[in-house]
Amino acid sequence: MMASVLAAKKALRDQLKQRLIALHDFEKLRQSQAVTRKLLSHKRYQEAQRVAVFLNMSDEIQTKDVINDIFRQGKACFIPRYRPRSNHMDMVRLSSVDEINQLPVTTWNIRQPAEGDCRDDALSTGGLDLVLVPGLGFDKQGHRLGRGKGYYDTFLERYMKQIGAKPYTIALAFQEQLCESIPVNNNDIEIDEILCAGDQEVLTN
């Protein structure tokens, strides 16, 4: 059973990656701007004071404008710090928009604070009100297909054990990332809501 789920996930990942490769940069920008507008007017975002957001890869919704708004609104901004050769991820505090370009670049070509860079960690300083989640694919049941490392699932599982409740999660997605169904196993944690361009945002809980 597990092997068949893994094989189905791999096949869907390959399909979604091809969809995203075919997506023109202009269309990525258009959809990113539409998703950003929806998020900034969203009640969950407006009420949140502690927000975790990803620094996007080239095939993900662009988050620069979201990060700018987080600081403009005086919210606390947390970003992922992945530990290489593991599935461990922390959410650590970003001090300003300007410092992003000074952060080291990982092998995934995304920036994050170095391991020895001491920063406030979300789990030890009060948790998070909102986690903005990337991924390759999503379905209307709130299932998410990541890149196979398990970073967000293990982070959310650790969060629930340590804090006692799951933070509200919103996936930011291109329309091309919506799927009829995502193969899942017992370790996959559902996303509360999916925002994308058009009328297809989905409340899953």
pLDDT tens readout for residues 42-69? 999 999 999 999 999 999 999 999 999 9
Structural domain including 92 reads: 2-203
Q: Which of 58-62, 93-97, 111-115 has the lowest mean pLDDT?
A: 111-115
Residue scoring higher pLDDT (86 or 194): 194
pLDDT attached to residue 28: 96
User: In this structure, are residues 195 and 201 in contact, taking their beta carbons and an 8 Å threshold?
Assistant: yes
Residue scoring higher pLDDT (5 or 146): 146
Question: Per the annotation, does 198 bind a ligand?
Answer: no
Residue scoring higher pLDDT (115 or 163): 163
Burial grade of 73 (CB within 10 A; 0-12, 13-18, 19 or more): middle
Question: Per the annotation, does 82 bind a ligand?
Answer: no
Burial grade of 1 (CB within 10 A; 0-12, 13-18, 19 or more): exposed
Locate 84 and state its tokens.
């290489």
Of the pLDDT bands very low, low, confident and very high (cuts 50, 70, 90), residue 85 is confident
Question: Which is nearest to 87 in space by CA: 145, 132, 154, 136?
Answer: 154
- Sheet with 50-52, strands from edge to edge, namely 89-94, 76-82, 50-52, 130-133, 168-173, 193-196, 202-203
% of the chain with per-residue pLDDT over 90: 69
Question: Per the annotation, does 12 bind a ligand?
Answer: yes
Query: What digits encode the pLDDT tens for the residues 120-135?
Result: 999 999 999 999 999 9
Question: Per the annotation, does 150 bind a ligand?
Answer: yes
Q: What is the CATH number of the domain that holds 61?
A: 3.40.50.10420
Query: Once rounded to an integer, what is the mean pLDDT over residues 167-175?
Result: 96
Question: Per the annotation, does 115 bind a ligand?
Answer: no
Question: Per the annotation, does 172 bind a ligand?
Answer: no
Query: What digits encode the pLDDT tens for the residues 174-197?
Result: 999 999 998 887 778 899 999 998
Query: Once rounded to an integer, what is the mean pLDDT over residues 103-121?
Result: 86
Question: Per the annotation, does 197 bind a ligand?
Answer: no
Question: Which is nearest to 52 in space by CA: 35, 62, 66?
Answer: 66
Question: Per the annotation, does 195 bind a ligand?
Answer: no
- On average, the pLDDT of the chain sits at 91
- Whether this model's pTM surpasses 0.85: yes
Max Cα-Cα span within the chain:
48
How many domains are contained in the chain?
A: 1
Containing 171, the helix (H) or strand (E) segment is: strand 168-173
Integer angstrom CA distances of residue 35 from 68, 74, 129, 137, 198? 15, 21, 19, 16, 9
d(CA 149, CA 147): 6
Question: Per the annotation, does 37 bind a ligand?
Answer: no
Sign of CA dihedral 3, 179, 203, 174: positive
